[in-house]
Copies of this chain bind each other. A is one copy, B any other.
Amino acid sequence: MATSAAKPDARSKLLDAALTVIRTKGYASTTVDELCAAAGVTKGAFFHHFKTKDELGVAAADYWSETTGAMFAAAPYHQLADPLDRFLAYIDFRKGLLQGGVPEFTCLVGTMVQETYETAPAIRDACDRSISRHAATLIADIEAAMAERGMTPAWTAQSLALHTQAVLQGAFILAKAKGGAGVAADSVDHLKRYIELLFGRTPKSIT
């Protein structure tokens, strides 16, 4: 169910399974046996590819970075000419991803880092890398939008890029608490409105 089609090896089947199972149950509550069952492999295969459960955690975070990174790289918002348009379209794109069940649209590394930041530094670092690298893909557009307007604000492009990630992560938590994507979408709307106001564009909403 959670495994891809072709004829993937045990390692990638386990990583695919990890994405869905961990996002559903959390990292600590996910057992190795459960992962193996979801991937359709044996425990021996698990420990052949990963020395420990934590090593799978790191690998899963890296794998998450790769797959989502490729997905965002291929997304249509890059085709827009204006950098601010691209940034805003990125946010629309993120909002559009809020479909299906909560485990399907929430973020693996945001989930994992909450449980492991004090107990598994390697996983925390992998999660940090994943978030920070993704945020970094936004910085160039933000800086270009700032430069176009001759802005020299008190905040940096990086801090705004990270703020967008914070809003998304927080929106996921609200979605988990309330059991639906609705609150998350509302929060993303507020984020978009902020950016429009920040760059002097009038939001659609009437004040």
**Which residues of A are at the interface with B, using a C-beta cutoff of 8 A?**
24-26, 28-29, 102-103, 109-111, 113-119, 124, 127-128, 131-132, 149, 151-155, 159-160, 162-163, 165-171, 173-174, 176-179, 183-184, 186-187, 189-191, 193-194, 197-198, 200, 204-207
A25 — which chain B residues lie within 8 A by C-beta?
115, 118-119
B166 and A115 contact, CB distance less than 8 A: no
B113 with A173: CB separation less than 8 A: yes
CB atoms of A118 and B102 under 8 A apart = yes
Alpha-carbon separation in the docked complex, A132 to B127 (Å): 28
A185 to B29, CA, bound (A): 31
Q: Judging by beta carbons under 8 Å apart, are B155 and A189 in contact?
A: yes
Instruction: Write out the residue numbers on chain B whose beta carbons fall within 8 Å of the beta carbon of A160.
Output: 190
Complex contact B114–A173 (CB within 8 A) = yes
Known: A28-B28, A110-B173, A163-B167. 7 other contacts (CB 8 A): A29-B115, A154-B204, A165-B170, A167-B167, A169-B173, A194-B198, A198-B207
Across-interface contacts of A186 in B (CB, < 8 A):
155, 159, 162-163
Most chain B beta-carbon contacts within 10 A, residue among A128, A153, A163: A163
**What are 15 of the A-B contact pairs (CB < 8 Å)?**
A26-B119, A109-B177, A110-B114, A111-B115, A113-B173, A117-B179, A128-B179, A132-B177, A149-B207, A159-B183, A162-B186, A163-B186, A163-B191, A166-B187, A194-B197
Min CB distance A124 to B, Å, is 6
A147 to chain B, nearest CB (A): 13
- Known contacts A29-B119, A170-B167, A197-B198; decide if A206 and B153 are in contact (CB<8 Å): yes
A89 to B118, CA, bound (A): 31
Complexed CA–CA distance, A155 and B206 (Å): 9
